[in-house]
Chain A
Amino acid sequence: EVQLVQSGAEVKKPGESLKISCKGSGYSFTSYWIGWVRQMPGKGLEWMGIIYPGDSDTRYSPSFQGQVTISADKSISTAYLQWSSLKASDTAMYYCARPEYSGYDLGYWGQGTLVTVSS
């Protein structure tokens, strides 16, 4: 069974750094892209970027390029989303997801990680 298990909720202050994780299991982690999706409170889904753990090929939405870093450690089947300096506007639910049927679908989703940034 394919599973994506994300790290727990975080409460941080503006300016702090953060790295959240998404651990894949039940499949070959290096053979599928993993994407990250943001959902701000009461708002829609936003496609942030994706990584192919097999060769670390990473693609970012123009809206998120330079704002976050996506990485993966294939030795522990885990993808990451990190910030070097959080802002209040980074407060959101963050989902990782993986294709199920083709290159760009997101058929498998993690449970989400709620990030709250507040002074």
Chain B
Amino acid sequence: SYELTQPPSVSVSPGQTARITCSGDALPKQYAYWYQQKPGQAPVLVIYKDSERPSGIPERFSGSSSGTTVTLTISGVQAEDEADYYCQSADSSGTTGVFGGGTKLTVL
């Protein structure tokens, strides 16, 4: 079945830029979405349609796409950004969805 691949972990110091990648063969055809999940909480959508930011999400969160890879960028990382981040997309036919394995962002 279709898979999205993320790095298991990313670490950055406060104020630096964090980049989390997500790779999948169908990403040139299907939009990607990004979620932030903190312990004990439901996920929160932080980017939709590759690069759109929902209302209420800080401007430091941005998304981009290039070929089979999409990237979530968090500029000026703050301690409160420490969380698990998941990419999500659909298979090439758009029939079913899939999540990446998740990336744990650690703010040093």
A102 to B43, CA, bound (A): 17
- Report yes or no: B102 in contact with A44, Cβ–Cβ below 8 A: yes
Report which residue of A49, A95, A101 has the largest number of chain B beta carbons within 10 angstroms of its beta carbon: A101
- Report yes or no: A46 in contact with B48, Cβ–Cβ below 8 A: no
Q: Which residues of B contact A46 (CB under 8 A)?
A: 99
Query: CB within 8 Å of B: which of A91-117?
Result: 95, 97, 100-107, 109-112
Residues of A whose CB lies within 8 Å of any CB of B are: 35, 37, 44-47, 49-50, 59-63, 95, 97, 100-107, 109-112
Q: Which residues of B contact A60 (CB under 8 A)?
A: 96
With A44-B102, A45-B35, A107-B54 known as contacts, the answer to whether A102 contacts B49 (CB < 8 A) is yes
Any chain A CB within 8 A of the CB of B42? yes
Q: How distant is B21 from chain A, measured CB to nearest CB, in Å?
A: 16
Q: Which residues of A contact B99 (CB under 8 A)?
A: 37, 44-47
**How big is the B interface, by class?**
20 to 34
- Report yes or no: B86 in contact with A35, Cβ–Cβ below 8 A: no
A103 to B14, CA, bound (A): 35
With A101-B49, A104-B88 known as contacts, the answer to whether A45 contacts B95 (CB < 8 A) is no
With A100-B45, A100-B54, A104-B88 known as contacts, the answer to whether A47 contacts B96 (CB < 8 A) is yes
- Report yes or no: A105 in contact with B33, Cβ–Cβ below 8 A: yes
Q: Which residues of A contact B54 (CB under 8 A)?
A: 100-101, 107
Residue in contact with B88 in the complex, picked from A63, A106, A109, CB distance below 8 Å: A106
A7 to B102, CA, bound (A): 26
Interchain residue pairs with CB less than 8 A apart (5): A45-B99, A45-B102, A47-B99, A101-B45, A111-B42
Q: Which residues of B contact A95 (CB under 8 A)?
A: 42-43
Q: Which residues of B contact A62 (CB under 8 A)?
A: 1, 96
